[in-house]
């Protein structure tokens, strides 16, 4: 794996799923874990995993947008990849997404892949059917569950809007600003990560509420 690729993972109080996520990643790609001041022992996970090119940083609790921006500042890669601590990717995931981006002209600022469920619960099936964690058919935006940006495009857009402190809305907001800088975005459905959906109906409702609130902010 090229040393110019960095995978950024924000995390908050998900020690078990973070460890599963990290153990699935190749050991020759730079990984940046940004701990949003967890209280469940998450800070010990990177040491326990023993990934040779893993950097872990902690910050005050201010949400995933700020965490991803911090990760991008720490990262050494020219290609910045994003996934989340409740995702599991195949060992070949980083290389496949980066190869897709490298074959595109420089006018393409980012590429996003497909997200499939780990389980078969109702929430998992509903979310997969409606492609909630994937780019729309128009590819007007990418989802940080599974995407890669050229650093130049990410920085030209100014990174994520840190005013969005809860998950939801920060993904399309960044993508819209990347496109406003003249870059295109593409979707590569053959590059897959698996998402561990929470099947609790209350958590599902909260997720949709946060996404809706974030999107209202972006549109406004």
Q: In the 3-class helix/strand/coil scheme, how is 105-151 assigned residue by residue? A: CCCEEEEEEEEEECCCCHHHHHHHHCCCCCCCCCCCCCCCCCEEEEH
Tokens 């840190």 label which residue? 162
Confidence band (pLDDT; 50, 70, 90) for 2? very low
What is the per-residue pLDDT across 98-147, written as a single tens digit (0 to 9) for each?
Answer: 999 999 999 999 999 999 998 888 888 988 888 888 888 788 899 999 99
Ordered structural domains, the chain, with CATH: 5-219 (3.90.550.10)
What is the per-residue pLDDT across 190-203, written as a single tens digit (0 to 9) for each?
Answer: 999 999 888 888 88
What does the radius of gyration of the chain's CA atoms come to, in whole angstroms?
A: 16
Mean pLDDT over each residue of the chain, to the nearest integer: 90
Judged on CB neighbours under 10 Å (0-12, 13-18, 19+), 1 is: middle
pLDDT of 3 > 70? The answer is no
pLDDT at 16: 94
- Report the phi/psi class of residue 168: left, alpha or beta, with left for phi > 0 and alpha for psi in -120 to 50: left
Give the residue-averaged pLDDT of 62-89.
Answer: 94
Give the residue, 35 or 205, on which the prediction is more confident: 35
pLDDT of 85 > 60? The answer is yes
Give the residue-averaged pLDDT of 55-83.
Answer: 93
pLDDT at 132: 83
Instruction: Provide the 3-class DSSP secondary structure of residue 62.
Output: coil
Element (H, E) at 99: helix 93-103
């Amino acid at each position: 794996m090229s040393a110019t690729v960095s995978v950024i993972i924000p995390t908050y109080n998900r020690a078990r799923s973070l460890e599963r996520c990290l153990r699935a990643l190749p050991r020759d790609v730079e990984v940046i874990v940004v701990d949003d001041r967890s209280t469940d022992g998450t800070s010990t996970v990177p040491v326990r995993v023993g990934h040779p090119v893993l950097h872990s940083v902690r910050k005050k609790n201010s949400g995933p947008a700020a965490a991803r921006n911090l990760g991008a500042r720490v990262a050494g890669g020219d290609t910045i990849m994003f996934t989340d601590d409740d995702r599991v990717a195949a060992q070949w995931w980083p290389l496949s997404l980066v190869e897709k981006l490298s074959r595109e002209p420089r006018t393409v600022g980012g590429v996003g892949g497909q997200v499939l469920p780990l389980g078969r619960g109702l929430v998992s099936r509903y979310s997969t059917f409606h492609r909630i964690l994937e780019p729309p058919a128009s590819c007007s935006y990418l989802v940080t569950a599974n995407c890669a940006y050229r650093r130049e495009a990410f920085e030209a857009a100014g990174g994520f809007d840190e005013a969005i402190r809860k998950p939801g809305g920060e993904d399309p907001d960044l993508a819209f600003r990347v496109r406003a800088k003249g870059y295109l975005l593409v979707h590569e459905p053959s590059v897959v990560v698996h998402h561990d959906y929470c099947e609790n109906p209350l958590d599902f409702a909260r997720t949709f509420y946060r996404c809706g609130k974030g999107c209202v902010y972006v549109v406004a």
